[in-house]
Structure 1
């Protein structure tokens, strides 16, 4: 089977704003700032851009506003993706295909949100607009994201004998990575005592099991792999992206809510990329909640189901281990920019410019969206450092 899009396009620049609890500016301003920084990183300007693509949940500046603010009068490609974390990689995929097929020469991709100072993403009031499943949850006052993922967490822990301490190691490891990341919101180390002593959010999920609510924006610059070689930074090619189904908690009749869509999708992703899990040097897993990390270690083939906790305990997922995970601190400790900040970190890792948190010799990275727990979709992408 031929894969004509494999490594045809590249991420030529990345940029981000400060991760904060109170940005003090609009999401339009956040988006433009991140895009300008990504363009400067690539050695390009707004005049080079002819395509725009974003991911949002009616909580951000729309592409038309951003294009106008950048001075792009007639974009040749516009992508506007609605949805939660399962959709976070869709604008990256769409931008790459637009460039590869000649619809655009240079597309900026972004996610901007004031999720802490603005409408709170975790609030129950925000959930009915995200899913038609909400009609089944509302009578039981079961609406917020922590409540939904708590159901999965309890079932997953019961099935595989996972303990609170196992989840605590995920949070502690990622906080250790964030300590070495100047962008991270949370840079104070935590201990197991800190983790176990934290308040409940939705049992069995404690405070440190849950991702941060952040005000921030991140942006990517997508162009052809050929053109990227002449730009400022080491290009990172988009090797493959794949999409798959997922498990909505109430609507699609999954017999086992601990089985995610990522497990079925991963073989297609690896086939499209021409690599396997043994070739991945760093994994940036979507980590809205700690149980999603061990789940994805198994789903993406790094261990057998049920073995992820011992793998984490043995240090395999730490920097210097067999497969470093969420080297920036992830959503749990760096900030929550709905998955795209994981792509920014992967690019930095593949360029080799992460300083003391750098994974030695990193050439291939896996970035994932929400693995399809409590949603009907999932997606992931594999990136490579250009030769």
Structure 2
């Protein structure tokens, strides 16, 4: 398979989601099924046609059970991607590869979680690493108090501030813009609840320099996507989101949230690797992207992601943010759904759904003239990305 053989071979034809809450009152498998059935209905595809499934290693819903409860007949392909939020776009890549190779014809991608009411990723000891190598890895950081993702990200955030002159207010501008979009998105948990920069600056400190409003939500909910061939997508009669590029990447001296041994910890080489692959695969450039879904688990990591994806030069994201380029009415609005800061934290799958809506022209915060959307996955870990486009 050549480097561009995947481009345009498959498309996302269905999206579905539950409501986003802090207490769903349902099992995670029920959430997964609700979202999957909604995505299939949106695509106009019968459940029994699903013959492939791709999800995250962190998802608690077995593929065989989801397939059986949907009413599936034969499951020919199934895969899971590791690294939490870094996986976000990779199940769609796996789905596209399965479709392009003939391994499957209709692939379901899903993420379902009761991450607020059942367990909390953001708390120390909330979800302890079970593998011995992971436990050994984190044993080097736990004695120093680096017990949570926020505390681990704080180290890199402070280095970025030192290297490039970014400030807490710059991080706050990311949060303010996300909440502004969420405030006009009825599906967002923070619908009708915008914030000001002052609100950000007075929110309590979590792990210096990260404040409460620098951190994504803890959410209950599920999102599902349906991927099939572009030929089949055209027969369905809707407006498909064509997968123009998909990539994964792990950079030099990569660790899980703690890549502190690199020559520089104020950049994200794994994200640049993903972006470079996507531009090469699609034949597109940063100037061809009208809006982007940038993984916003923590606001400080939004800035080096913008740089890694070529939307501004290294060290210049602070000026990009200060100019409002990322916000409503800016030259590259990011996360028009409100992101994980404002809509919900569903490990990035909800961001892919928003990218599909932007391509379709159906988003509640629709951006003008959208032809291509770039989507990133979790930063600070091995990661992935997508470029979706109009047919």
TM-score of Structure 1 vs Structure 2, range by shorter chain? over 0.9
2:162 matched to 1:154? no
Q: Distance in 2 between matches of 1:298 and 1:85?
A: 19
1:121 partnered with 2:126: no
Say which SS state the counterpart of residue 79 (structure 1) adopts: strand
Report the equivalent of 2:145: 141
Q: How does 1:23-34 map to 2 (within 5 A)?
A: 23-34=24-35
Structure 1: which 5+ runs fail to align? none
Question: Are residue 81 (structure 1) and residue 84 (structure 2) matched?
Answer: no
| Superposition pairs of residues 213-362 of structure 1, within 5 angstroms | 213-246=218-251, 247-248=254-255, 253-260=261-268, 261-355=270-364, 357-362=365-370
With normalisation by structure 2, the TM-score equals 0.94
> C-alpha displacement at 1:119, in angstroms?
1.2
Residue of structure 2 in register with 1:91 after alignment: 91
User: Residue 110 of structure 1 aligns to a residue in which SS?
Assistant: strand
The 10-residue stretch of structure 1 (330-339 or 59-68) with the greater mean CA deviation from structure 2: 59-68
Question: Which one is further off, 327-336 or 77-86?
Answer: 77-86
SS at the partner of 1:293? helix
After superposing on structure 2, the runs of 4+ consecutive aligned residues of structure 1 that deviate more than 4 Å are 249-252
State the secondary structure of the residue aligned to 2:48. Answer: helix
SS at match of 1:13: strand
* Counterpart pick for 1:167 among 168, 171, 178: 171
Deviation of residue 252 (structure 1)? 7.8
User: Offset of 1:52 from its aligned partner?
Assistant: 1.4
The unaligned stretches of length 5 or more in structure 2 are: none
Query: What whole-Å deviation, never above 9, does each CA across 1:149-177 have from its counterpart, x for those lacking one?
Result: 11111111111111111111100011001
| TM-score normalised according to structure 1 size | 0.95
Whole-Å separation in 2 of the counterparts to 1:47 and 1:72: 4
Find the partner of 1:190 among 187, 195, 208: 195
Contact 1:316 1:324 (8 Å CA) reproduced: yes
Conserved? CA contact 1:43–1:232, under 8 Å: no
Cα deviation, 1:328-373, whole Å, max 9, x if unaligned, reads 1101110000011110000001100113x110110100001113x2
Q: Matched residues in 2 for 1:109 and 1:302: separation?
A: 28
CA RMSD of aligned residues (A): 1.6
- 1:319, distance to aligned residue in structure 2 (A): 2.9
Q: How many matched pairs?
A: 381
Residues 44, 250 of structure 1: CA spacing in aligned structure 2 closer, same or farther, 3 A cutoff? closer
Quote the Cα distance in structure 1 between the aligned partners of 2:210 and 2:226: 36
Aligned-pair CA distance for 1:81? 2.5
Partners in 2 of 1:264 and 1:51 — Cα distance? 28
SS at match of 1:196: helix
Match of 1:103 in 2: 103
**What is the alpha-carbon distance in structure 1 between the residues aligned to residue 71 and residue 369 of structure 2?**
39
Counterparts of 1:29 and 1:347, CA distance in 2: 24
